[in-house]
Amino acid sequence: MTSETPFPEAFGPIRYRRWDGTQRLDPIEAEELLGAMSDELLSGADVEEAMERLARFGMAGRMEGLQDLIERMRAARQKRAERHGLSRIFDDLRAKLEEVKRLEREGLERRASAEAPTDELRAAMRRMAEERTRQLDELPGDVGRAIRQLKDYEFFEPKAAQAYRELLEMLQRQVLGSYFSSMRDSLKDVSPERVERTKRMLKDLNRALRERMEGGEPDFEAFQRQYPELAGSAKDWDDLLRQLAAGMSAMRSLWQSMPADMREQLEELLGAAFQDGGLQQAMSDLATTLSELMPMDGHDYELSGDDPLSLAEALEVMRQMDRMSDIESQLRVASGPADLKDVDADEVERLAGKKARRTLEEVQRMWELLEEAGLIRKDGQRYELTPRGIRKIGQRSLEEIFATLKRDAFGSHRMRLRGRGGDPTDELKTYEFGDPFLLDLPATVRGAVMRSGRGTPVRLTPDDFAVHRTELLTQSATAILVDVSRSMIFRGCFLAAKKVTLALDSLIRSTFPKDDLYIVGFSAYATRLQPTDLPRLTWNEYVYGTNMQHAFETARTLLSRSRGKNKQVILITDGEPTAHFEDGRARFSYPPAKRTFEETLREVVRCTREGITINTFMLARGHYLVDFVNQMSKINHGRAFYVEPERLGEYVLIDYVDNKQRRVS
């Protein structure tokens, strides 16, 4: 659907197009790219793997990937195949051949009917005309063999001989032009001198390539100066080889795409084109050398359309389709910017259109965007996340979690305490010494008028001042204990735990900067982690055990360093304790041993004595886990929640924020 709306001529008409999902409203940004990879990075993939996958499959509705580009190239190739056909590939040559035969017959007829001095001479001329006409009539229907057999025919009519030479020259230009595309302009002249130069050039080229195969270093610049018509646009020997291979491959693809009878005709035509034996031998030698240097496989394209092609046009179509196949192969194995730098955007647009070019440029630019934004950096030969990149993943995790909450998720739990230090509330109170002076002027004046009655001026006393109550923001110290045992990989538990940990870190950095957060990962042993460790954190399939005893001990040690008076442990796990320390090493037992429960609960008692609250978020409901958490809650009076992995973030963050905002009466 297209419509035009009148508008000032300076701007021209406004055009509306149907939305097809590919139009871009705003450019892709680096943080959007990182966000698309964040889940994969948190699931254990390294930056290279995540970026390769993003480049391969893109982002739905925002950016196409290499797979989409491959499909565009394939569709463009299929479109050519369905448009063109080879059934009339020799029609132009056949038409010119028929013209040669017509001119020769007309000349023979004129000679046969011409007056002669004697009857004998007239009879001889008639016999000669009849013989030549018979030879023309007996030419094969195969245009290739017919053109080749005419090489031995002695033309009587000069115009026919000239037309035949022009036919051979055209055929020679088409064939040589397909092999050497850079020489198409120079091949307009196929004089004997030009043919001799071409023959010498091919021999010199073959000699140089043979020397290179044997480890030599032939002078490319000297060859380029001597034969600019062939090597003028090439950068070096390798570039020239690629150009030559493309021409050879196009001829091979055309050959393979033809039925058997057409192949025979093409073979005869090639033989006719190189009527100079030396040129034909030079071409054959060069083809052999190129095959050894760059093995080439042609393609069998099923051209099924009605649009006819000449031989030259067919070779050009084959060259284009071969190039599309080559680009497809290159894109299929590409894994980084180095693999894409040689893909020419202009060529992609020429072959598959503007949308294909845009896809390629966006994918090529992807790595550069992330580097320029400081989200990734090159470490040797590989990319890695920067600290800024890790913080951005945390912020995105935080936004993602809050985006799932209903509008009334916060504020639904009223507390009994109010105080100072937080945001103003809607409640008012009479000002007392030490209160934040968040004056409510209407309420203050109203109180004075009600006290003293109507009239001016209104006189205020200290008891008239009304101020807003504020929320109490406590300084907290939190240790979040993340179970990294092997069972956490199931049901998305591990990813959920890492995301909520990064989100909590981002929340504290941005909203509660005075709070302390410690991160502890534990399986058979517990260890302190930094936020920058989380994207690379993975489970160890060779280590068994869930050592909560060591996790609580580590958390207690870390929390003792904090000045915050409100200390808590957030435990995220999908299983009960199955390991504890004994004789200086971790002992594993499943089903969990009574001794493991006892040693872990002793550590819970120590945490309780030091005023540390333990809140547990269970990602499973196993009998042993529920039994252990019940015992722990009786000792510590912390809370326990059972949550699905996909809702873990909601529970942890809401609980954290709610406990930060307590109101004091």
pLDDT tens digit string along 408-445?
343 333 333 344 445 566 677 787 766 677 778 888 88
- Using the predicted structure, report yes or no on whether residue 2 has a pLDDT greater than 60: no
Q: Which residue has the higher pLDDT, 509 or 15?
A: 509
- Using the predicted structure, report yes or no on whether residue 38 has a pLDDT greater than 60: yes
Domain that holds residue 153: 91-302
Q: Which residue has the higher pLDDT, 379 or 510?
A: 379
3 state DSSP class of 93: helix
- Specify if 417 maps to a domain: no
- Specify if 254 maps to a domain: yes
| Residue where a domain stops, chosen among 240, 269, 302 | 302
Alpha carbons 431 and 468: distance in angstroms, whole number:
9
Stated as kind and residue range, the H or E segment containing 606 is helix 594-609
Distance of alpha carbon 531 from its chain centroid, rounded?
28
Tell me, yes or no, whether 130 and 273 share the same domain: yes
Tell me, yes or no, whether 448 and 501 share the same domain: no
pLDDT in tens, 340-385: 888 889 999 999 999 999 999 888 888 888 888 888 888 777 888 8
Tell me the HSE value of 444 on the side-chain side, using a 13 A CA sphere.
15
DSSP state of 531: G
Tell me, yes or no, whether 253 and 358 share the same domain: no
Q: What is the pLDDT of residue 486?
A: 72
Q: Which of 518, 605, 509, 520 is nearest to 560 (CA)?
A: 518
Tell me, yes or no, whether 173 and 297 share the same domain: yes
- Specify if 13 maps to a domain: no
Amino acid letter, residue 110 = R
pLDDT in tens, 253-278: 888 888 888 888 887 887 777 666 67
Q: What is the pLDDT of residue 14?
A: 58
- Specify if 33 maps to a domain: no
Task: For residue 328, give every residue at least 6 positions away whose Cβ sits within 8 Å of its Cβ, in sequence order, or none.
Answer: 70, 73, 74
Stated as kind and residue range, the H or E segment containing 4 is strand 4-5
pLDDT in tens, 154-207: 888 899 999 988 888 788 777 776 667 655 555 555 677 777 888 888 889 889
Q: Which residue has the higher pLDDT, 338 or 432?
A: 338
3 state DSSP class of 631: helix
A 10 A CB-CB count for 437 gives 8
DSSP state of 5: E
Stated as kind and residue range, the H or E segment containing 601 is helix 594-609
Tell me the HSE value of 426 on the side-chain side, using a 13 A CA sphere.
1
Distances (CA, A) of 247 to 181, 205, 224, 261, 573: 7, 15, 19, 23, 64
pLDDT in tens, 603-641: 999 999 998 888 887 777 777 888 888 888 888 887 777
Q: Which residue has the higher pLDDT, 102 or 123?
A: 102
The CATH number of whichever domain residue 640 belongs to comes to 3.40.50.410
| Residue where a domain stops, chosen among 251, 274, 302 | 302
Q: What is the pLDDT of residue 554?
A: 92
Q: What is the pLDDT of residue 432?
A: 72
What is the SS3 assignment for 171-217? HHHHHHHHHCHHHCCHHHCCCHHHHHHHHHHHHHHHHHHHHHHCCCC
Q: Which of 71, 160, 55, 67 is nearest to 107 (CA)?
A: 160
Mean pLDDT of the 454-468 span: 82
Task: For residue 123, give every residue at least 6 positions away whose Cβ sits within 8 Å of its Cβ, in sequence order, or none.
Answer: none
Most confident of 58-67, 495-504, 511-520, 536-545: 58-67
Tell me, yes or no, whether 465 and 572 share the same domain: no
- Specify if 258 maps to a domain: yes
Write phi, then psi, for 88 (nearest 5 degrees).
Answer: -115, 25
Write phi, then psi, for 486 (nearest 5 degrees).
Answer: -65, -25
Tell me, yes or no, whether 165 and 244 share the same domain: yes
Q: What is the pLDDT of residue 492?
A: 64
- Specify if 12 maps to a domain: no
- Specify if 176 maps to a domain: yes
| Residue where a domain stops, chosen among 362, 385, 408 | 385
- Lowest-pLDDT choice from 6-20, 329-343, 459-473, 643-657: 6-20
Q: What is the pLDDT of residue 470?
A: 63
Q: What is the pLDDT of residue 574?
A: 79
Q: Which of 179, 181, 173 is nearest to 206 (CA)?
A: 179
Token pair for residue 179? Answer: 């092999």
pLDDT band of residue 213 (cuts 50, 70, 90) is: confident
Tell me how many domains the chain contains: 4
Tell me, yes or no, whether 183 and 145 share the same domain: yes
Tell me, yes or no, whether 274 and 226 share the same domain: yes
Answer yes or no: are the C-beta atoms of 194 and 186 closer than 8 Å. Answer: yes
Q: What is the mean pLDDT of the chain?
A: 79
Tell me, yes or no, whether 556 and 627 share the same domain: yes
Give me the sign of the Cα torsion angle 45, 48, 54, 57: negative
- Using the predicted structure, report yes or no on whether residue 495 has a pLDDT greater than 70: yes
Tell me, yes or no, whether 228 and 319 share the same domain: no
Token pair for residue 255? Answer: 């050959």
Tell me, yes or no, whether 79 and 99 share the same domain: no
Mean pLDDT of the 299-327 span: 86
Q: What b/e readout covers 335-370, taking b as 16+ CB neighbours within 10 angstroms? A: eebeebeebeeeebbebbeeebbbbbebbbebbebb
Token pair for residue 634? Answer: 């009786």
- Specify if 487 maps to a domain: yes
Tell me, yes or no, whether 572 and 434 share the same domain: no
Distances (CA, A) of 587 to 144, 485, 578, 599, 657: 87, 15, 8, 11, 37
